Structure 1
Amino acid sequence: MPLDHRLTPEHEELRRTVEQFAHDVVAPAIGDLYERHEFPYGIVAEMGRMGLFGLPFPEEYGGMGGDFLALGIALEELARVDSSVAITLEAGVSLGAMPLYRFGTEEQKRRWLPKLCSGEMLGAFGLTEPEGGSDAGGTRTTAVRDEAAGEWVINGSKCFITNAGTDITGLVTVTAVTGRTPEGKPLISSIIIPSGTPGFTVAPAYSKVGWNASDTRELAFDGVRVPLANLVGEEGRGYAQFLRILDEGRIAISALATGLAQGCVDESVAYARQRHAFGRPIGANQSIQFKIADMEMRAHMARVGWRDAASRLVLGEPFKKQAALAKLYSSTVAVDNARDATQIHGGYGFMNEYPVARMWRDSKILEIGEGTSEVQRMLIARELGLTG
């Protein structure tokens, strides 16, 4: 059914507030943090005070009582300026807190969500493994019941986990094999591991191409023991749970990618107006005008895509296909716009002091994280009834 993507007054007020915050607070500070590979603790704390980490959660758990569309709006506006800050929010909400809200017990929600919603604490989601990225069903991390002690004993490792090793990380929810079906297929469950649990090792931060002011780590579990009550949702339903979480997360990543694409337009328009060559602004050249017009077209259509998927989610309608479409298209658009913005800037686009250089470095991961472009095509084909 056709959906109205115009923002409500409340959503528009949020958009303007985050836009102003991104330009006034994030933009002046993020360049130095990015080059030093430093996590933006001060910015994150201010985002917490603004309520951004609690946007889609009910007030009874410390949230703002908003919806997923509100989260996407905030992510887009942040990513117009910087993606490291945006992915910190996206992962903290979609991957850190959302599994507990969707599938956790009432005790788990009341224990963890208030601090996650306030930004005082970050949560992470441990899914990807060194030998299991797109093939998440190939999980090798195990969790074995010790009934006498009332504990899970967890062994294994995870990689590429966002927000896993900051000073304010409080927990990681990990997927682990907790049994087998009669046919021998793994039963995957989700289990909370609080930071600092003995046997839980957080590796040094990765040296990355982009997202350099965000936190990404490898995790290892060697005989980690946590209470049986740390199980999130039903035992053996972890696979189905994370599929739902990833469907929602793809909408959030699409909003982030749209923001990066729009940021490339913003920077290119400004540069084309002030940069002169052969006696006039380069923006007077039709070749530059057409390139920027194409960039704006892509960003606009990406926005339509993620808002359509988010609106369906909010209305309780099926949204899996729309989320995959939005994620596939917007991530492609982000890469295309970052490339074109760099070209418009010429040699300056290759200098890290210019935001488009950061956007170029940050764009490629959007075609990989939370489901590669190939996985999105596979999901779309399946939703169209194509199997095998």
Structure 2
Amino acid sequence: MTPAVTPAARPRQVRRTLPTEEARDLLELVRELIHKEIVPVADEEEAAARFPREVFRRLSGTGLLSLPYPQEYGGGGQPYQVYLQMLEELAAARLTVGLGVSVHTLACHALAGYGTAGQRAAHLPAMLGGGTLGAYCLSEPASGSDAAALRTRAVRDGDDWVLTGTKAWITHGGIADFYTVFARTGAPGPRGITAFLVPGDAPGLTAAAPERKMGLGGSPTAQVHLDGVRVPDARRIGAEGEGFAIALAALDSGRLGIAACAVGLAQAALDTALWFTAQRHQFGRPVLDFQGLRFMLADMATQIEAGRALYLAAARLRDTGEPFSRQAAMAKLFCTDTAMRVTTDAVQLMGGYGCTSDFPAERYMREAKVLQIVEGTNQIQRMVIARDLAGPPGR
């Protein structure tokens, strides 16, 4: 018996450990929105590479685009461990949505953490709850993993800065309403970089055609060109030369977002494989009854639970103000590698059907590979972990 071509079963109600009644209500809100607005069209929209801008407006309007930021500026005031669990739910429904929320949160981090009180009051309410969407601009065509080698320049001109250069691999490039841009204002190296908040409609800011990626076709990734873009000094975030430290601090938190997205994607793949193997019959019984397949499913579930525990442990450190850079790198590394293993196994469990676009398993597998690369490749994560453990090489 071959299962009818139907949408794969969506993720089951994963048991959550949420600290307050408010957080539990948020979870119900997220699941309701997923059920009504994301799941019914996710496969079709992703196949057509459509960006769900209306979904993001809905998330913004309900406060789900601002969960970890202060309430005084329109944020949700939630602990990071709560935010990440909501993010996992969104990513399990459609990774384009989960990743988009993570990137928007990343783009808000610099201003929320390092802006002046006046800057936060002027810009954060619209960024957090005004229906706008952000992008984070650090990487360049010639400086990906070596981000401190960036070449985009910002030159002072009176009360303005003039930005010139090209940013690469920018999620939401060309559709973002604001960009957190890191540019060189001083000597080569990490101490010569400054952060700026650039409006999406600034004259001289343009985007190239979106990259043709192997996965996440609904999430636009593009080069962003800055051709003499003028930015008032009032939009400089932090002190001159402080930009690289701001960028790295944002990435620590952003890596936890990617870890949560990876766990959500892996959970979706596991649930799809469970659904399929229960429906598919061979040799007179469901293939789910065969011990070899059951062992694969058990390993997949164990890896997912371990990844979830790892990112939540790192989030609790962040919530209590403890250092968490190493744990964030570990979570990003482990969870995205887990997503790659689990999605690959899901395709294997489904056999030939797993290789077809009639089922989402092959899409999950392609998307998992992207997560091993974004916001620092997993080789970079290993460098971060090793440096924290043993110090820089040669010491």
Normalised TM-score (structure 2): 0.92
Which whole-Å CA distance do the structure 2 matches of 1:108 and 1:370 have between them?
26
1:315 aligns with 320
Which of these residues, 97, 100, 105, is aligned with residue 88 of structure 1?
100
Structure 1: 5+ residue stretches without partners: none
Q: Size of the alignment, in residue pairs?
A: 377
Report if the CA contact (8 A) 2:66-2:74 is conserved: yes
> SS of the counterpart of 2:196?
strand
What amino acid sits opposite 2:184 in the alignment?
A: V
The match for 1:45 is 57
Question: What corresponds to 1:176 in structure 2?
Answer: 183
Q: How does 1:16-165 map to 2 (within 5 A)?
A: 16-93=28-105, 95-118=106-129, 120-147=131-158, 150-165=159-174
Q: 2:236 aligned with 1:231, yes or no?
A: yes
Q: Secondary structure at the match of 2:314?
A: helix
1:272-287 mapped onto 2 (5 Å cutoff): 272-287=277-292
2:194 is aligned with 1:196 = no
Superposed CA offset, 1:32-75 (max 9, x none)? 21111111122222222221111011121111121211220111
- Structure 1 distance, partners of 2:308, 2:242, is 33
Measure the CA separation in 2 of the matches of 1:261 and 1:119.
32
Q: By how many angstroms is 1:172 displaced? A: 0.6
379, 383, 391: which one pairs with 1:378? 383
Q: Is the 8 A contact 1:38 1:212 kept in 2?
A: yes
* Mapped partners of 1:77, 1:294: distance in 2: 21
Within 5 Å, which residues of 2 pair with 1:290-301?
Answer: 290-301=295-306
Residues 17 and 272 (structure 1), Cα distance of their counterparts in 2 relative to 1, 3 Å cut: farther
Amino acid at match of 1:73: Q
Separation in 2 of the partners of 1:133 and 1:268?
35
**Which piece of structure 1 moves more, 49-58 or 152-161?**
49-58
| Contact residue 134 and residue 371 of structure 1 kept, 8 A | yes
Contact 1:14–1:70 under 8 Å retained in 2:
no
Q: CA deviation at 1:119?
A: 5.5
- TM-score (norm: length of structure 1): 0.93
Residues 138-171 of structure 1: CA deviation (Å, up to 9, x unaligned)? 0100001012xx11011110011112322xx221
Q: CA offset at residue 185 of structure 1?
A: 6.9
Give the corresponding residue for 1:337.
342
The 2-side partners of 1:353 and 1:119 are apart by 37
Q: Are 1:212 and 2:217 an aligned pair?
A: yes
Structure 1 Cα separation of the partners of residues 191 and 121 of structure 2? 31
- For the Cα contact (< 8 Å) 2:190–2:244, is it kept in 1? no
Q: Deviations over 1:103-131 (max 9, x none)?
A: 11223222222122225101111000000
Whether the 8 Å CA contact 1:254–1:306 is kept in 2: the answer is yes
| Deviations 1:60-108, CA, capped at 9 Å, x for gaps | 1111121211220111111122111111111011x22111101112232
Q: 1:367: how far off?
A: 0.9
One-letter amino acid of the structure 2 residue matched with residue 139 of structure 1: L
Alpha-carbon distance in 2 for matches of 1:204, 1:72: 31
Q: Secondary structure at the match of 1:8?
A: coil
Tell whether the 8 Å contact from 1:56 to 1:66 is kept in structure 2 after alignment. Answer: yes
One-letter amino acid matched to 2:216: W
- Asked if 1:361 corresponds to 2:366, the answer is yes
Cα distance between partner residues in 2 of 1:190 and 1:227: 12
Does the Cα contact within 8 Å between 1:53 and 1:116 map onto a contact in 2? no
Distance 2:31 2:306 in 1: 20
Amino acid at match of 1:108: Q
Using the TM superposition, give the Cα deviation of residue 305 of structure 1 relative to its aligned residue in structure 2, in angstroms.
0.4
Q: Secondary structure in 2 aligned to 1:217? A: strand
Identity %: 38
Gap change, CA 1:21 and 1:275, over 3 Å in 2:
farther
Compared with structure 1, are the counterparts of its residues 14 and 353 closer, same or farther at alpha carbon in structure 2 (3 Å cutoff)? farther
Q: Deviations over 1:289-345 (max 9, x none)?
A: 011100000000000000000000001111111111111100100000010001111
Q: Which runs of 5+ in 2 are unaligned?
A: 1-15
The separation in 2 between residues aligned to 1:348 and 1:23, in whole angstroms, is: 25
